Amino acid sequence: MKQALRPEEVKSIYNQTYRYYDMLHTLGTFRMDEKGRKYLIKKVVQPGDYILDAGGGTGLTALRAAKRLNKKGKIVILDFSEKMLEKAREKAHKLNLGQKVETKLGDLYKIPFADETFDSVLSTYSTCPLDQPIDAVKEMLRVMKNNGILGIAHSTDPKNKIAKWLSSKIERIIWKFPNVSFGCRNIELIEDIRKLNVEILEDKIIGFASFYFRIIILRKHK
Ligand SMILES: C[S@@+](CC[C@H](N)C(=O)[O-])C[C@H]1O[C@@H](n2cnc3c(N)ncnc32)[C@H](O)[C@@H]1O
């Protein structure tokens, strides 16, 4: 596993790449990222939910999720990159989703909301750049109500030996260009998640060529 970049570096990357993030992330992963987003939204989002999109960036997940919400439902995009959030607001406005989408500047390690605020939480690819991803997951659980559903998608090593070899070669090259890798690396969370007071509802890997994502859906217990 690659060593995570420092948070200041990660923030600076996103504040520089916000203009082309959507295009590069989507094309660079052969749209597998979109597949993960759609899957999680379908499984996690209920029409009247108050939802947190943790590390939501430009809103690729949140804006899609907002379309499933009714008048009562709302989604908050939390991120520490001002520029990514600016882009998310611009897109929400264009899509006429401003009423359903809010943005909040803040850190995933110290989410600026009280305990048990949200019905559900989404984290698509936001744990990959973190040095201690499980600490962010604990924060996501803290701000979610009991029995709430947390949906996570993160980059992972493929299981197949050839795909794993290819993936590590590509990761090594891309890692040299932080504004292309976005500081995202393959991580593993499931073993740490098993130690938490949660019920794992789904755990599966989706992928193509050298890009594999792990989808984890869990329910918070008291
Ligand atoms: C790979 S992007 C994912 C964005 C979005 N969730 C998506 O599906 O496209 C990672 C996001 O996490 C944010 N991020 C990384 N570390 C963070 C931290 N410590 N606190 C808040 N946001 C963070 C970045 O600014 C970036 O927007």
CA distances from 65 to 3, 24, 36, 126 (A): 32, 21, 13, 16
> Does residue 102 register a pLDDT over 80?
yes
Whose CA is closest to 211, among 162, 152, 151, 164? Answer: 164
* Alpha carbon distance 10, 143 (integer Å): 24
Domains annotated for the chain, with CATH where assigned, are 7-84+111-132+141-220 (3.40.50.150)
| SS3 category, 129 | coil
- Binning pLDDT at 50, 70 and 90, where does residue 161 land? confident
> Does residue 166 register a pLDDT over 90?
no
* Alpha carbon distance 67, 87 (integer Å): 18
> Does residue 217 register a pLDDT over 80?
yes
Whose CA is closest to 187, among 171, 170, 165, 208? Answer: 171
Residue-wise pLDDT tens digits, 192-207: 999 999 999 999 999 8
**Phi, psi angle pair for 44, to nearest 5°:** -105, -40
Q: Is the CB of 57 under 6 A from ligand 1?
A: yes
Average pLDDT over residues 55-61: 98
* Alpha carbon distance 189, 154 (integer Å): 9
Residue 18, C-beta contacts closer than 8 angstroms, at least 6 positions apart: 57, 58, 81, 83, 84, 86, 87
Residue-wise pLDDT tens digits, 87-98: 999 999 999 999
Q: Is the CB of 126 under 6 A from ligand 1?
A: yes
Q: What pLDDT does 218 receive? A: 98
Could you tell me what percent of the chain has a pLDDT over 90? 83
Q: Is the CB of 61 under 6 A from ligand 1?
A: yes
| Integer Rg of the chain from CA | 16
> Does residue 174 register a pLDDT over 90?
no
The more confidently predicted of residues 170 and 121 is 121
Residue 109, C-beta contacts closer than 8 angstroms, at least 6 positions apart: 130, 132, 135, 136, 139
Q: How far is the CA of 57 from the centre of ligand 1 (A)?
A: 5
CA distances from 110 to 2, 55, 163, 165, 187 (A): 24, 12, 36, 36, 21
Q: How far is the CA of 11 from the centre of ligand 1 (A)?
A: 8
> Does residue 40 register a pLDDT over 80?
yes
Q: Is the CB of 108 under 6 A from ligand 1?
A: yes
Q: Whose CA is nearest to atom 6 of ligand 1?
A: 56
Instruction: Spell 71-96 as b/e; 16+ CB within 10 A means b.
Output: eebbbbbbbbbebbbebbbebbeeee
